[in-house]
Chain A
Amino acid sequence: MPCQLGSEIKQDFPILSTVLPNGKKLVYLDNAATTQKPIFVIDSITNFYRSQNANVARSAHYLGEQTTIAYNEARKTVAKFINASYDEVIFTSGTTESINTIAYGWGDNNVNENDEIVVMTSEHHSDFVPWQQLAFRKNAKFKVVPLREDGTLDIDTVRKYVTSRTKVVACARMTNSFGVINPVEKIGKIAHENGAVFVVDGAQSVPSMPTDVKELDADFLSFSGHKMLAPMGIGVLYVKKSMIDSLKPFLTGGGMIDEVKNEYTTFAACAPDRYEAGTPNVEGAIGLARAIEYLEEIGMENVLEHERKLLEYAYLKLKHVDRVILYGPKRLNDRGGILSFNVKGIHPHDVASILDANGVAIRSGHHCAQPILRSLNVEFMATARASFYIYNDNSDIDALADAIEDAKRRFS
């Protein structure tokens, strides 16, 4: 179980000792794309298949019961982690499926012609496209709140965009492009004052900071397991209890029904069953629960503090480096551990390839967030992005800075 964050905790993550074919040691700084998994989580998945595997909530035998207990326990762990109730937590394949579940299951029945849907320019495509498509389906107005130059939101601008015609306001708590922490409590208040539903994308924030759905007062919250030490293919949709009745099942089939006849089907009376059609990702749910236990032992405040320390170290180290452009707000307290940057005259894909040859793994491109990059006129409409997590330390950032110098030398 966890010891000191940074260098010591690395031993819990087997993949971090990878040596690349060219002999360089792996320096993993692509955590906003996906995090690595501790042995504690990896073992929980293999143990599930070694000793528990059966279908869940169907099979009345020893293994079926073991699986069902483990799956239900996983849901309890998730609920407690975000201060929700058991029946407010729906397992999905990830944030994208969670948001589509809201857009189709709630949006199609509650948004009408000339209603408004408000999103921020900084949303990830997964919190942008489903809302835009909903607006197209319903002839609703799709309104995109502009940003300040540093990628932050001005709360007065948000206030101007949300009106009595607004049915939904969707916003990420932490943006994946620049790592900006948005004032979601204030935005939620504006949404609710106007009678709109408030939808929070927690894909980047839930892994990196404490989350309390009561404090956020979100009607819906989505997040993914794979960005917080858990496997890919598991995610969560939190639905506030008062919203459950207005959410129609998006996926139908086995496991979510009450009675099926030739003439009609009635759905399971209560959440979460009604919203989980088909055999669920039990190994993913178990892996997510173990990941949460691991993170809780560290403490989510400590995760954020560690990310901020790394961000500050990287920011100060790169701030005055020739040809390096840093994006995002200068006030680091408004940010999580994400640093988007460019090197003048080098396309970020080339930066990423040269960093890779130095063992340093980062993301490059538009980060599934084209609207923000377009609106801020970012060169190449793409950036390089280093993102930090619990197992990173200052030496990883030193390696990043050295590799950037190598890129500059090659593209002089």
Chain B
Amino acid sequence: MSDLSDLYAEVIMDHQRHPRNFGKLESFDREVKMTNSSCGDQISLQVKLEDGKIKDLKFTGMGCAISMASASVMTEVVKGLSVQDAKKISEEFIKMITDGKAPEDDLEDARVFSGVYKYPMRVKCATLAWHALQKVIE
């Protein structure tokens, strides 16, 4: 509970208004669909892998501002990373949201979601896309 700046930071609002990497890939190696059963948020994530790296990824979905902005930020942060680094970052992101633990790595824009920790009802919204990422590159 606050004045909402923790939850709806300007970066988050910008990503929900203009989601990056939104859509379908022409060709992809893997795809996962995930839903957040408590809210009904849905995401579909496609990745193209090359030499152990995430060459490209795109998402489609429907949900609240937090879930959609989080997906958008995630795609920007992990695009071009090695699968290994993407896994590590996704773990740190999820820990930051669920345990309030400050991340070791530079999460770039993803850091703006740290305030979600204070809103337990919204944790699943913020982590959905990152869980989808973990599943699609596992």
A22 at the interface (CB under 8 A from B): yes
B136–chain A nearest beta-carbon distance, Å: 23
A-B contact count (CB 8 A): 50
User: Which of B13, B39, B125 gathers the greatest number of chain A CB atoms within 10 Å?
Assistant: B39
Report yes or no: A353 in contact with B119, Cβ–Cβ below 8 A: yes
Which residues of chain A from 291 to 349 have a CB within 8 Å of any chain B CB?
346-349
Asked if B65 CB lies within 8 Å of chain A CBs, one says yes
- Complex contact B119–A22 (CB within 8 A): no
Say yes or no: B1 contacts A347, CB within 8 Å: no
Contacts of A411 in B (CB 8 A): 65
Q: Is A354 an interface residue (CB 8 A)?
A: yes
The verdict on A64 contacting chain B, using a C-beta distance below 8 Å, is: no
Contact of B1 among A356, A365, A366, A382 (CB under 8 A): A356
Instruction: Tell me if B125 and A349 are in contact (CB < 8 A).
Output: yes
Q: Provide the bound-state CA to CA distance between A380 and B38, in Å.
A: 13
For B40, the chain A residues whose CB sits under 8 A away are 365-366, 370, 380-382
- Find chain B residues with CB under 8 A from A50 CB: none
The smallest beta-carbon distance between B97 and chain A, in angstroms, is 15
Q: Which residues of B contact A353 (CB under 8 A)?
A: 4, 7-8, 119, 122
- Complex-state Cα separation, A354 to B4, whole angstroms: 7
Chain B residue with the shortest CB-CB distance to A406: B4
Q: Which residues of B contact A380 (CB under 8 A)?
A: 40, 62-63
- B39 adjacent to A382 (CB under 8 Å): yes
Tell me, rounded to whole Å, the shortest Cβ–Cβ distance linking A21 to chain B: 5
B residues with a Cβ closer than 8 A to A are 1-4, 7-8, 13, 38-40, 62-66, 119, 122, 125
11 new A-B contacts, CB < 8 A, other than A349-B39, A353-B119, A353-B122, are A20-B1, A21-B2, A22-B2, A347-B64, A348-B64, A349-B63, A357-B2, A365-B38, A380-B62, A381-B40, A411-B65
Roughly how many angstroms separate A380 CA and B125 CA in the complex, as a whole number? 14
Known A-B contacts A365-B38, A366-B40; the reply to A350 vs B64 at CB < 8 A is yes
Contact A357 B3 (CB under 8 A): yes
- A347 contact set on B, CB distance < 8 A: 63-65
Given contacts A349-B122, A365-B40, A410-B8, contact A22 B63 (CB under 8 A): no
Chain A 354-395 per-residue mask, 1 if CB under 8 angstroms from chain B, else 0: 101100000011100010000000001110000000000000
What's the dominant secondary structure at chain B's contact region?
loop
Q: Can you identify 18 A-B contacts, CB atoms within 8 angstroms?
A: A20-B1, A21-B2, A22-B2, A347-B65, A348-B64, A349-B125, A350-B66, A353-B7, A353-B8, A354-B4, A354-B8, A357-B1, A357-B3, A357-B4, A364-B39, A365-B39, A410-B4, A410-B8
A residues near B (Cβ < 8 Å) are: 20-22, 346-350, 353-354, 356-357, 364-366, 370, 380-382, 410-411
The complex places the Cα of A21 from the Cα of B119 at a distance, in Å, of 14
Residue of B nearest to A353 (CB): B7
Q: Could you tell me the distance in whole angstroms from the C-beta of B18 to the nearest C-beta in chain A?
A: 14
Q: Are B64 and A22 in contact (CB under 8 A)?
A: no
A353 to B2, CA, bound (A): 10
Query: What CA separation (Å) do A366 and B42 show in the bound complex?
Result: 13
Assembled-state Cα–Cα distance A356/B65 (Å): 16
Q: Kindly list the 6 A-B residue pairs having the minimum CB-CB distance in the complex, ordered from nearest.
A: A347-B64, A349-B64, A357-B4, A350-B65, A381-B40, A21-B1
- Chain B residues within an 8 Å CB radius of A348: 64
Q: Within the assembled complex, what's the spacing in Å between the Cα atoms of A354 and B39?
A: 16
A139 to B3, CA, bound (A): 53
- Which of B3, B7, B40, B119 neighbours the largest number of chain A CB atoms within 10 Å of its CB? B40
For residue A403, give the distance in angstroms from its CB to the closest CB of chain B. Answer: 12
Docked Cα-Cα span, A366 to B63, in Å, equals 12
B7 / chain A contacts, CB cutoff of 8 Å: 353
Q: Once bound together, how far apart are the Cα atoms of A364 and B38, in whole Å?
A: 10
Give Cα distance in the complex from A380 to B2, angstroms: 26
Query: How far is the CB of A412 from the nearest CB of chain B, in Å?
Result: 10
Contacts of B13 in A (CB 8 A): 410
Query: In the complex the two chains form, is A22's CB within 8 Å of B3's CB?
Result: yes
The residues of B that contact A364 with a CB separation of less than 8 Å are 39
Chain B neighbourhood of A365, CB < 8 A: 38-40
CA distance A349 to B7 in the complex (A): 12
